[in-house]
Structure 1
Amino acid sequence: MAAARRHLRKLLLSAERGEELHVLPMPWLSHRKLASFAYVAEQYGYRYDGFAPEYSPSTPTHVFAFRRTADAQQRAASTMEQYPDALRGGPLPGMRPGGSGLRPLPEASREVALLLARIMVDVTGSQYRRKRIRFAVTAAVIGLVVILVRGAFTAASVDGFLTGILPVIGGLSLLFLAAYVLGRRLSRRWAAKYRRMLDEAGVEWPINRLG
């Protein structure tokens, strides 16, 4: 709950300064929590807008943007009136009290689900997926090379290296390959699932701002 309120406080500072975009590095492991926070942010006048302009998919951390709505000032004023204690431990808009503070109430569940669908379509997009996979493969190769070199220097003999280190390298390589294949399949399945959810709800995503 502390994280949710900390990031909400930062968002409200952006609102006070009238900033068009509020940038949020991914603060939770769960995209569902991010979707719940996006719902809360919308009540204060900032709508989920996808990846931040400066976001680089070559890094493992996602950075998201929230765009100020035309009626942001009115939204924020109304929400603050209804939830005066949101920053002081009270319930957040549309969320159940207690716990992490980011568990949606039944009346907010559909909107949170559609926000989650937008987020998942973004994070499973092909251009971002390819670059993240490239990053992961590079990290895995470097890790294997480090193990290989260290094993070569610490092995008592050539036979010890061949029988001790190479099987470990082979096993880790197979493990990385299996994780890679499984990750690609899951990513494509999630992308199709959430794209279908948005299509059925009539939600255009991503928004074409040039059209």
Structure 2
Amino acid sequence: MSIAERQISALLRQVASHDVVELIHPFADWKTFGALVHIAECYGFRYAEVRHVGRQKEIRIFLVRDTSPAAQQRAAATAAAYPQAGGGGPVPGMHPGTLVPLPEAQADVDLVTTLIRYDAAGSAVNRKQLMTMAWGSAGLFLLLALLTGKFAVLLPLAVLTPVFLLGSLRIGTARREKLGQRLAAAGCTPVRDEYGRDRFVRPGTAGQQTGHTA
């Protein structure tokens, strides 16, 4: 069984027995996550959110069971059409044995992949915390320079450390803005969820809430 088939099998085991699906796969790329989310949504789930967990900021993607009649009808139709899914058989929207989208599923996979990347970029960056770290590090190195007299070493650090942190923040913000522009161009609606996070809702899902995985 290929890596893709194992990932699909693990996903469908969760789909069959859980109301919340969690995707971890530490070595998966964004397109793989997008493909897995597409498959899960064919089985009556919907993408909820991205979280960065632990000191290593491991990416975890969450989906929740969609209880709407349309989603449940879609799940029943998918299960009937793909009876061997998870056991090496075909799955909706993918070339057999892979997580490579079929042409008819490519646009949806691309859109959800962009949505995941946008949410992940927002989850990874705490602007207030990073600003505090940048200016706090500058103050700390200046204080150490005054206390130790090692100006040649500590003054450059007092300048370069906040420059690096603030530069990283600026680059991350610019990348997220570009992803947001792509989502808006695709017809997604900007919203602010119950946690105050800036999110996007895909066309046709405007009535659905985001992020209910707690």
- TM value normalised by structure 1: 0.63
SS at match of 2:164: helix
Residue aligning to 1:133: 127
Q: Classify 1:42/1:209 alpha carbon distance in 2 versus 1 (closer, same or farther; 3 Å).
A: closer
Q: Classify 1:16/1:83 alpha carbon distance in 2 versus 1 (closer, same or farther; 3 Å).
A: closer
Q: What is the deviation of 1:136? A: 4.5
Report the RMSD for the aligned CA atoms in angstroms. 4.2
Q: What is the deviation of 1:70? A: 0.8
Write the distance in 1 (CA, Å) between the matches of 2:86 and 2:52. Answer: 36
Write the distance in 2 (CA, Å) between the matches of 1:176 and 1:115. Answer: 29
- Code of the aligned partner of 1:177: L
Q: What is the deviation of 1:124? A: 5.6
Residue aligning to 2:113: 116
Q: What is the deviation of 1:177? A: 1.3
Determine what percentage of the aligned residue pairs are the same residue.
20
CA contact (8 A) 1:24 1:63 kept: yes
Show structure 1 runs of 5+ residues with no match: none
Q: Classify 1:139/1:34 alpha carbon distance in 2 versus 1 (closer, same or farther; 3 Å).
A: farther
1:190 aligns with 2:187: no
1:81 aligns with 2:78: no
2:167 to 162, 170, 178: 178
Show structure 2 runs of 5+ residues with no match: 190-201
CA contact (8 A) 1:38 1:115 kept: yes
Residue aligning to 2:72: 70
Write the distance in 1 (CA, Å) between the matches of 2:44 and 2:25. Answer: 16
Q: What is the deviation of 1:181? A: 1.7
Q: What is the deviation of 1:167? A: 0.6
Q: What is the deviation of 1:94? A: 3.1
Write the distance in 2 (CA, Å) between the matches of 1:167 and 1:194. Answer: 41
Write the distance in 1 (CA, Å) between the matches of 2:19 and 2:11. Answer: 11
- Code of the aligned partner of 1:85: G
Residue aligning to 1:11: 11
Query: How do 1:21-40 and structure 2 match up within 5 A?
Result: 21-25=20-24, 27-28=26-27, 30-40=29-39
Q: Classify 1:80/1:137 alpha carbon distance in 2 versus 1 (closer, same or farther; 3 Å).
A: farther
Write the distance in 1 (CA, Å) between the matches of 2:61 and 2:87. Answer: 29
- TM value normalised by structure 2: 0.63
- Code of the aligned partner of 1:33: T
CA contact (8 A) 1:104 1:112 kept: yes
* CA offset digits 1:144-174 (Å, max 9, x no partner): 48x949x87xx9x62xx21023213311221
Q: Classify 1:20/1:39 alpha carbon distance in 2 versus 1 (closer, same or farther; 3 Å).
A: same
Q: What is the deviation of 1:67? A: 2.1
Q: What is the deviation of 1:15? A: 3.4
Write the distance in 2 (CA, Å) between the matches of 1:205 and 1:121. Answer: 17
